[in-house]
Amino acid sequence: MELPAEFLKRMQDLLGSEYEAFLQAFQEPRKFGLRVNPLKISPEEFEKKVPFHLKRIPWTRNGYYYEKEDDPARHPFYYAGLYYLQEPSAMAPGELLSVTAGERVLDLCAAPGGKATALGARLGGRGILAANEISASRAKALLKNLEVFGIPNSLVLNEIPARLEERFPEFFDKILVDAPCSGEGMFRKDAANARAWSLEKVRSCAVIQKDITVRAARMLRPGGMLLYSTCTFSPEENEQVVSHVLRECPQLHLTPLPLYEGFSKGRPELAGGEEEIQNCVRLFPHRIGGEGHFLALFQKEGRLPDLLEERGSAKGRISAEEESLLDAFFRDVSWSVEKNRIEVRKGQVYLSPPTELPLGGMNFLRSGLYLGEIKKNRFEPSQSLAMALRKEEYSSVIDFEPEDPRTRRYLRGETVEISESPARSAGWQLVCVSGYPLGWGKLVNGTLKNKYHPGWRMKG
């Protein structure tokens, strides 16, 4: 791989005696990783069920290396949301920002969703995950990944950080700023990043990073924690951003991060000289089985209040007809749905988050769980509802094995013949693979009419 000459000189100055080992890493194949979804399956169960060549990633509880020939993106379990494909180093931010069920969590630069799905899964359906992406098209990809993972308590925003700062002062318990950066740490993974690199881009990114991280700090509650991360090596985007934030936000201090084997400390001499910058962490591809990353964990002075079970205010009445249609469907669902959290907008039915949110005038794609649509005097359940359910939570299920040809036919959107005898011989069925929901189908005379989301279908 041809790397920019100016970049190489900077890395030589940064790494000194380790420079040759760093260069050698670019001659080695990249590592592939996946992260198991604990909302659906434990790592131990996952290891037993999949045919992949797995090896644990040291700095994650539920991350694994796999071999390229495993091709996990083609396995039905991927479509069931049992795991997310993610570069191993990129798993560190979602792991090292400690999230507790019930907290208010913000992922400020969230697309495509690798870190957001990790944070959302750890909330366990309680509290709120606000996942923001400034690009509308990337926000749609983010929403899909959160829905595949079955995260019911998400708020997917499409806003600039300044607007969020105005609306959510000192609102969040935990914030992740995985900042847009020059991408130096991903050159081995994506040669296009190397071709697009320039020192001007490094400096431009640093300006943006300083601005959004200071804004994020203002959205943090006293006692809350903010994790800043990049996938770059440049001091301008790493230690120097951290130094700037410490100066601008004197109520923040750096908290030590764990030093797993191969992790190295931050470099105070590259910024303002503050000794606490050693509490940051650098990841280099010649030291670990992964690409380049940088992490800094800030904590705000003060004490987080005890977590409370929060409830949003009633969203307004739903009509008696709408309530009747919803009741008829949800008799077959074992969930206890709080009706004051149900909102119907132009026939679209949503289960609002349990946390009151000041969303008036904000650009957002989703608040809570999209349950389905009321049309022509019937309720049609959504793909996102199927992904948020467990097999045992719906009364009639059709369960395929991964090797069954009908599984892939279903995922391609085709009609499927059913020889099994589900609990109901007609009507809505929750379609699963090895007990894990994939989507809906409607059974009519032994034929399953496919209701799998058209935009999610398997190609080929």
Catalytic residue among 231, 249, 280, 432: 231
- Answer yes or no: are the C-beta atoms of 406 and 431 closer than 8 Å: no
Q: Which residues contact 215 (CB under 8 A, 6 or more apart)?
A: 161, 162, 164, 165
Q: What are phi and psi of 335, to 5 degrees?
A: -70, 150
What Cα–Cα distance (Å) separates residue 268 from each residue in 281, 288, 305, 317? 12, 22, 33, 57
Of 383, 402, 404, 395, nearest to 450 by C-alpha is 383
231 assigned to active site: yes
- Residues listed for the chain: 460
Helix (H/G/I), strand (E/B), else coil: 46: helix
Q: Residue 161, preceding bond cis, omega within 30 degrees?
A: no
Three-state SS letters, 71-129: CHHHCHHHHCCCEEECCHHHHHHHHHCCCCCCCEEEECCCCCCHHHHHHHHHHCCCCEE
Residue 145: strand, helix, or coil:
helix
- How does DSSP classify residue 333? B
Is the Cα torsion angle 320, 322, 325, 329 positive or negative in sign?
negative
Between β-strands 154-157 and 348-351, what pairing exists: parallel, antiparallel or unpaired? unpaired
**187, 188, 222, 305 from 30: Cα distances, Å:** 10, 7, 40, 43
Active site residues: 231
